[in-house]
């Protein structure tokens, strides 16, 4: 077996490009066009939500009964509703609510998941195995079936899925659990 010393020395002198986890992740993110487009859309929505009073042409609750059901035009870009409120302004202000609900749901889901994982990891053994089987069962049950079972258990009907009712509460639970289990 013959070793070429000259090639070995050249290989050891070759410069190795150093990188770390964050640089590698940023490099891969920048090469993913769909991720960049999604990030830009989320940033635009966040900026719109923060500066809603400056961006919206009217207040969200400002109505003009003379212009109810106005068609899209110069005054109302997306038209007006039955109370004469500008739809564009209401959509812009609605981004605040939507982003707040999403952020709160993600935060609660994150906190519950962290606590659940900490308990399972700390206890270990049979407790961990039991907790993981519960998660497996939760993954296996479709969301709609889960909500129907809850509605049957609480003797609720599909007609009562309105805000402030048990059905509305269950549909809110569905939205909250959707990020955690389903």
Convert the pLDDT of each residue in 140-160 to its tens digit. 888 888 788 888 877 755 555
Question: Quick check: is 170 in a domain?
Answer: no
Question: Quick check: is 181 in a domain?
Answer: no
Question: Quick check: is 157 in a domain?
Answer: no
pLDDT (0 to 100) of residue 163: 54
Question: Quick check: is 104 in a domain?
Answer: yes
Domain enclosing residue 40, as ranges: 5-140
pLDDT (0 to 100) of residue 121: 93
Query: SS3 string of the chain?
Result: CCCCHHHHHHHHHCCCCCCCHHHHHHHHHHHCHHHHHHHHHHHHHHHHHHCHHHHCCCCCCCCCHHHCCCCCCCCCCCCECCCCCEHHHHHHHHHHHHHHHHHHHHHHHHHHHHHHHHHHHHHCHHHHHHHHHHHHHHHHCCHHHHHHHHHHHCCCCHHHCCCCCHHHHHHHHHHHHHCCCC
Regions of the chain short of the pLDDT cut 50: 179-182
Question: How many folded domains does the chain comprise?
Answer: 1
Question: Quick check: is 82 in a domain?
Answer: yes
Question: Quick check: is 117 in a domain?
Answer: yes
Question: Quick check: is 166 in a domain?
Answer: no
Question: Quick check: is 98 in a domain?
Answer: yes
pTM of structure: 0.61
């Amino acid at each position: 077996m013959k070793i070429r010393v000259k090639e070995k020395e050249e290989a050891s002198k070759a410069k190795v490009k150093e990188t770390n986890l964050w640089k590698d992740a940023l490099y891969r993110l920048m090469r993913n066009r769909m991720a960049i487009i999604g990030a830009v859309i989320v940033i635009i929505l966040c900026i719109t939500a923060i500066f809603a009073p400056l961006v919206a042409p009217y207040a969200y609750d400002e109505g003009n009964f003379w212009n109810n059901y106005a068609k899209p035009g110069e005054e109302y870009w997306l038209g007006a509703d039955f109370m004469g409120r500008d739809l564009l302004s209401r959509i812009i202000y609605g981004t605040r609510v939507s982003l707040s609900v999403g952020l709160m749901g993600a935060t609660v889901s994150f906190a519950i998941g962290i606590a659940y994982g900490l308990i399972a990891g700390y206890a270990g053994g049979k407790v961990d195995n039991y907790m993981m089987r519960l998660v497996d069962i939760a993954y296996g049950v479709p969301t709609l079936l889960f909500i129907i079972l809850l509605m049957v258990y609480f003797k609720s009907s599909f007609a009562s899925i309105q805000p402030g009712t048990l059905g509305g509460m269950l549909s809110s639970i569905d939205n909250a659990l959707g990020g955690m289990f389903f």
